[in-house]
Amino acid sequence: MSNPFLKQVFNKDKTFRPKRKFEPGTQRFELHKRAQASLNAGLDLRLAVQLPPGEDLNDWVAVHVVDFFNRVNLIYGTISDGCTEQSCPVMSGGPKYEYRWQDEQRYRKPTALSAPRYMDLLMDWIEVQINNEDLFPTNVGTPFPKTFLQAVRKILSRLFRVFVHVYIHHFDRIAQMGSEAHVNTCYKHFYYFVTEFSLIDPKELEPLKEMTSRMCH
């Protein structure tokens, strides 16, 4: 395991949350395996994200949301030692984009926070969502709520902000670790998925527009 990126990934660091797993034998576990297999086979990512014939859109989306959460969490975890209150006092994507945090508990108004504080709240918030059986039911036959896709749009647009911050403020760290290819693949997979199913407002994608047009033409 000479790759420093993998070393960090397998380092049981505090920044890595327990992964949400799919139970073997369930429909979603099979979908997860199928999605992974097409990625591992090097299938064109644009094709890999398409809904397999006969499958339920909500199931397919749920599997990917959990997977993206796990991956983005790892990516942020690998650079988090360089993302501090001092280096990143504001959660931003360059001088033009600042992201403020808002939730139902402590921050009822959009509030400016440091990037590490924002990331902490964001990961906790998503973890609560994906472990909520009412929103992400794990039992086969339990229907998804009508608000499912609306909730997913919010989760994914906030996860996108992690990519924005990492690419704009910490890419040198990613490059130093030799993990650009890995991060770029994760980003392309995410981008093709959210655009395939219109899960993020195009305005939200603006901060990485130029990079995306080069990477995902």
Binding residues for Zn(2+): 83, 88, 165, 170
CA–CA dist 109, 204 (Å, integer): 20
The structure tokens 């600042």 sit at 98
In this structure, what are the phi and psi dihedrals at residue 101, rounded to the nearest 5 degrees?
A: -95, 140
Q: Are strands 100-101 and 97-98 parallel, antiparallel or unpaired?
A: unpaired
Could you tell me which residues are beta bridge partners of residue 111? 101
The residue type found at 138 is: T
Could you tell me which residues are beta bridge partners of residue 100? 112
Could you tell me which residues are beta bridge partners of residue 93? 97
CA–CA dist 43, 51 (Å, integer): 14
Q: Which residues participate in the annotated binding site?
A: 83, 88, 165, 170
Q: What DSSP letter does each residue of 178-212 carry, written as one string?
A: T-HHHHHHHHHHHHHHHHHTT-S-GGGGGGGHHHH
